[in-house]
Homo-oligomer: A and B are copies of this chain.
């Protein structure tokens, strides 16, 4: 199937700004789904609220555009009640880790078979450029006229500590890599997290003088390095890209099925 067949083409051109990285994430994700050859009817995409969250309206899957920060909680309900479905949950950085931080760590803890995609533009895009828990120190934002003093989360570390069994990071520059990681994440049994650095030229870029979209994308190549690469070894201050965690552990829905099996036996 062509990648366009996974789109709800009637809503194109989409609402994202010119050069918004979220479109590239959509692009990479659809390639992953296409290459895996998953049936559209087997996928539920759940999103929250934000520019990023609008992604669920553009894909021809079952789509649940939910509440800001709560996508993983909705997804947990969908998945547990119908484990045969594949759950894709793209989220903005604010969505996933500001208001949604608790659902993020709890979904990870349970190791429920959901793929969380953090579309990290380090800013609240939808509401016009306020700082997020991933902005980091010293950034300009509409609510940080004097520059931010808030430390940022390391999404990878947090996901790992919370119990995620697959954790990867890449960027919109590394679109092929993104597709690759997304494929692995989707096929992984358990809670998987893929963080994708995704430029917001309109707010983050403009305010922080990071140039236009192509410049921001190019920058992702400069500031990151593949895990295990010489580049990273030589400059550990760079942001690591790659698969940080990939381990097998009991998956929540499967464990629950065992409870049912036991309880139903108890009954008869």
Binding site for B on A (CB under 8 A): 98-99, 101-102, 105-106, 109-111, 133, 137, 146, 149-154, 157-158, 160-163, 249-250, 252, 255-256, 258-259, 262-263
Contacts and interface: CB of A to CB of B under 8 A. Distances in A.
B102 A146 contact: no
Contact of A133 (B106, B153, B154): B106
Contact of A110 (B110, B151, B258, B263): B151
A109 B160 contact: no
A146 B101 contact: no
8 contacts: A101-B105, A109-B151, A109-B152, A149-B255, A150-B252, A154-B161, A158-B158, A161-B161
Main secondary structure of the interface of A (DSSP, over half): helix
Report, nearest first, the 5 A-B pairs whose CB atoms are least far apart. Answer: A161-B161, A102-B102, A149-B255, A157-B161, A101-B102
Contacts of A249: 151
A255 B150 CA distance: 9
A258 B93 CA distance: 27
A155 to B, nearest CB: 10
A158 B105 contact: yes
A149 B105 contact: no
A149 B101 contact: no
Given A99-B102, A146-B262, 15 more contacts: A101-B101, A102-B102, A105-B158, A109-B133, A109-B150, A109-B151, A109-B152, A109-B153, A137-B250, A146-B259, A149-B259, A150-B252, A151-B163, A157-B161, A158-B162
Contacts of A149: 250, 252, 255-256, 258-259
* Chain multiplicity (copies): 2
A200 to B, nearest CB: 21
A161 B163 contact: no
Contacts of A99: 102
A158 B109 CA distance: 11
Nearest to A261: B146
A137 B258 CA distance: 13
Nearest to A160: B161
Nearest to A154: B161
Contacts of A98: 106
Contacts of A250: 137, 149
Contacts of A158: 105, 158, 161-162
Q: Most B CB atoms within 10 A — which of A151, A153, A256, A262?
A: A151
